[in-house]
Chains A and B, each alone.
Chain A
Amino acid sequence: MFFNNLKQLHGTVYINDIWCKGCGFCVQFCPTNVLDISPEFNAKGYHPPYAKNPEKCHDCQYCQMICPEFSIFVTKDDEIAKGEAEK
């Protein structure tokens, strides 16, 4: 759409249900509202998050930093990152 072909960078969130204690920090603090609380229960009986709008993740890694249980992390999507070049 844009003449300079700049692309949005994307990330993918990975959630390790088993460690999650359902505090909801990641859901609350994600700046682009990627996450929401899942209706499912995990083995501990908590509601873990799930990626409701995965396309909105821009790899800011905030959830990864604030999760007290180390149960969520993000990776940068490589193929799109490559397409970012302006030239």
Chain B
Amino acid sequence: MTKKRTGVFVCHCGNNIAATVDVARVVKEMSAEETVVYSQDYVYMCSDPGQNAVIQAIKDNQLDSVVVSCCSPSLHEKTFRDNTTRAGISGFTCEIANIREQCAWVHKDRDVGTEKAIKISRSAVRRAGRNQSLEPIAVPVTRRVMVIGGGIAGIQASLDMANAGLEVILVERQATLGGHMLQLSETFPTLDCSQCILSPKMVEVSRHPKIKVMTYCEVQEVSGSVGNFKAKILKKPTFVDPEKCNICDDCTQVCPVVVPNEYELGLTARRAIYIPYAQAIPASYTLDEEACLGLNPIRCGKCKDACEADAINYDMRPETVVEEVGAIVVATGFDLYPQENIAEYGYGKVEDVLDGLQFERLCSASGATSGHVLRPSDHKVPKDVVFIQCVGSRDPAQHCAYCSKICCMYTAKHATLYKHHVPDGRAYVFYIDIRSGGKGYEEFVQRTMEEDGAIYLRGRVSKLYRHNGKVKVLGTDTLTGQNVEIDADMVVLALAMQPSKGTAQAAKVLKIGRDKDGFLAEAHPKLRPVESVTAGIFLAGAAQGPKDIPETVAQAGAAAAKVIALLSQATLSHAPTVARVRRSHCTGCEMCVTACPYHAIRLENGKAVVNEVLCEGCGSCTATCLRAAIEVKNATQMQVFEMIEACLA
């Protein structure tokens, strides 16, 4: 092998690096390295003059490899690899030595920092000394997208992408699209009817020629990578043919079974065969397999006898379909924090203590009470209603540490709606503080207090229990220091938002990260808020963090734009730093085949073969192979050994 001609470029990063690392010494030490023919430092290597210096140096000194000692490769690796390419040599001959995050920022002592920076840089020089010139692999793209979750986030993202010409598959686990927004009555801050603004979008999605809606479906398995994912989707049987069902409702008239209606949060009952809402999309009934007595023509079978359209088919079975897509948007939404976890408010067992979504259903014209606010225990109009904010939120000791962001606003909305329904009633709101950042939000809260006359009490409710047919609420008003005792007819808890169960399931299937609270983790909290760490998988809506509708819609649009940009390319480039098999060493033991998390290796004629498009260069195979027969290009065992040596020397 001819000797390499490496150039080393050490960055001061202003004072970020230079304060703790003697940059000039690093340059001097590097120039002593055998392969290094050029070295320099510069105050901001990533600035235009800095970049030009790199390009010029490569040309002037016929460099064939480059090391830049600077910040994390997640920030500027691309910048400098692009520069090496522009200077006429392969970008993959360029290595980054991270002497900022991993060195300057974690040390105080200049000597220690300088020593470490030299070792890090030297190890990168050794690695660069054995780097091959590689060219990116071109990968064809599938111009289709899968959206998981049919709430407002999934609906909006699907529409935006389909209107840009992409084919969309929208997968929803429930029997209808709409998510939680379909359960809301009116929405803050403008109080427009939630279903009225949502259902046109649902109809548009269902009629869109580019969108395939798959309700009552779940994604079971996803393989492949950006540009070419393969998703296995389970279609659960609804036992009703949506094409034939004419929503005549004859079946529910005869079905003998009664179970709580989860779409009305248990405020009403439904039959074993049901339609979630009148506005459900697809407009078809669904037979709940678990509640049904029959599913067998000689057992029960009343609904099938009653159905004149012959829409009911007890022989439907689960089906799996495989869809190929280039990108995925995860919009799996939220659930409310379980009331059963709140000990001080009776574990959800105290009658007439509702959660926010149940109250939405009480106010909704299409809800359990056709829009009359009644209390569940005796169906009477409640005259004293207590709203409690921050239930489960901002309580790191027992529940969720985070603020759920929307509860201040929806509680104000609930108090307003209640006063509109029951003008002579009294609405009490217990709050810790009011967070009403947002266009028109603060004004809305002020109106709730001043015009609608809701009584805001700053403090926490310590306890509530049933007493003489009412709910006794004990709390403190911290502004006056007085203890407060209210005999309430009804209590509404603003429970924390938490990631939905489906979010956990989807994250597991897609192998994408979640944060400490279980919300989907974004690639960068500031700069890449709608991307997951895995290329080609994007995030939208409340699955990524608590959000209201405007924010959800904005994020869905952003995710759609990212997907459109990604899939507008004819081919994607894939890093060529993939595994390579030394056929002479390979015994065909298949250890690497099982170790590879991306299913990139298969056996062909008794030897391992790597699918370069699937390989992510993780090195799991190298670590398992007993015969060093499989190695990742530009991260070979030899390179790793030499890097370790350089660090220990």
Chain A residues in the interface with B (C-beta under 8 A)? 1-4, 6-11, 29, 31-32, 58-62, 65-66, 84
Please give me the residue from chain A that is nearest to B258 by CB atom. A8
Query: For A4, A29, A84, which residue has the most chain B Cβ atoms within 10 angstroms?
Result: A4
Q: How far is the CB of A41 from chain B (nearest CB, A)?
A: 29
- Contact partner, A4, options B256, B268, B293, B300, Cβ 8 Å: B268
Query: For B260, B264, B300, which residue has the most chain A Cβ atoms within 10 angstroms?
Result: B300
**Main SS of chain A's interface residues?**
loop
Instruction: Using A3-B379, A59-B256 as known contacts, say yes or no to A31 and B299 having CB atoms under 8 A apart.
Output: yes
Interface size class of B (residues with CB under 8 A): 20 to 34
Indicate if the CB atoms of A62 and B258 lie closer than 8 Å. Answer: no
Q: How far is the CB of B363 from chain A (nearest CB, A)?
A: 13
Instruction: Using A32-B293, A58-B257, A60-B293 as known contacts, say yes or no to A6 and B298 having CB atoms under 8 A apart.
Output: no
Indicate if the CB atoms of A65 and B369 lie closer than 8 Å. Answer: no
Q: A2-B267, A62-B298 are in contact. List 4 more A-B contacts (CB 8 A).
A: A60-B294, A60-B299, A62-B294, A66-B298
B529 at the interface (CB under 8 A from A): no
Q: Which residues of B contact A10 (CB under 8 A)?
A: 256
Please give me the residue from chain A that is nearest to B372 by CB atom. A3
Complexed CA–CA distance, A9 and B260 (Å): 15
B270 at the interface (CB under 8 A from A): yes
Chain B residues in the interface with A (C-beta under 8 A)? 253, 255-258, 260-261, 264, 267-271, 293-294, 296, 298-300, 368-369, 374, 376, 379
Indicate if the CB atoms of B268 and A2 lie closer than 8 Å. Answer: yes
Q: Which residues of A contact B269 (CB under 8 A)?
A: 2, 4, 6
Query: For A9, A11, A29, A60, which residue has the most chain B Cβ atoms within 10 angstroms?
Result: A60
Q: Which residues of A contact B271 (CB under 8 A)?
A: 6
Q: Which residues of A contact B267 (CB under 8 A)?
A: 2-3
- Contact partner, A65, options B257, B258, B299, B376, Cβ 8 Å: B299
Instruction: Using A3-B368, A3-B379, A31-B299 as known contacts, say yes or no to A58 and B268 having CB atoms under 8 A apart.
Output: no
Please give me the residue from chain B that is nearest to A63 by CB atom. B299
- Interface pairs A-B: 3 shortest CB-CB: A9-B256, A60-B300, A62-B299
Complexed CA–CA distance, A11 and B256 (Å): 9
Q: Which residues of B contact A2 (CB under 8 A)?
A: 260-261, 267-269, 368
Q: How far is the CB of A14 from chain B (nearest CB, A)?
A: 17
Q: Report 20 cross-chain contacts, Cβ distance below 8 Å, ordered by A residue.
A: A1-B376, A2-B261, A2-B267, A2-B268, A2-B269, A3-B369, A3-B374, A4-B269, A6-B270, A6-B271, A7-B258, A9-B256, A10-B256, A29-B299, A32-B293, A58-B257, A58-B293, A62-B296, A62-B299, A84-B253
Please give me the residue from chain B that is nearest to A76 by CB atom. B256
Complexed CA–CA distance, A10 and B257 (Å): 9
Complexed CA–CA distance, A71 and B274 (Å): 34
Q: How far is the CB of B309 from chain A (nearest CB, A)?
A: 21
Complexed CA–CA distance, A61 and B255 (Å): 13
Complexed CA–CA distance, A65 and B299 (Å): 8
Q: Which residues of B contact A65 (CB under 8 A)?
A: 298-299
Please give me the residue from chain A that is nearest to B367 by CB atom. A3
Complexed CA–CA distance, A84 and B258 (Å): 10
Please give me the residue from chain A that is nearest to B293 by CB atom. A60
Instruction: Using A2-B269, A3-B267, A31-B293 as known contacts, say yes or no to A62 and B300 having CB atoms under 8 A apart.
Output: yes
Complexed CA–CA distance, A3 and B369 (Å): 6
Q: Which residues of A contact B294 (CB under 8 A)?
A: 31, 60, 62
Q: Which residues of A contact B293 (CB under 8 A)?
A: 31-32, 58, 60, 62
Q: Which residues of A contact B379 (CB under 8 A)?
A: 3
Q: Which residues of B contact A60 (CB under 8 A)?
A: 256, 293-294, 299-300
Complexed CA–CA distance, A59 and B256 (Å): 7
Q: Which residues of A contact B257 (CB under 8 A)?
A: 8-9, 58
Q: Which residues of A contact B369 (CB under 8 A)?
A: 3
Complexed CA–CA distance, A70 and B209 (Å): 55
Complexed CA–CA distance, A29 and B299 (Å): 10
Complexed CA–CA distance, A65 and B300 (Å): 10
Complexed CA–CA distance, A52 and B435 (Å): 58
Q: Which residues of B contact A9 (CB under 8 A)?
A: 255-257
Q: Which residues of B contact A7 (CB under 8 A)?
A: 258
Indicate if the CB atoms of A58 and B298 lie closer than 8 Å. Answer: no
Q: Which residues of A contact B270 (CB under 8 A)?
A: 6
Q: Which residues of B contact A84 (CB under 8 A)?
A: 253
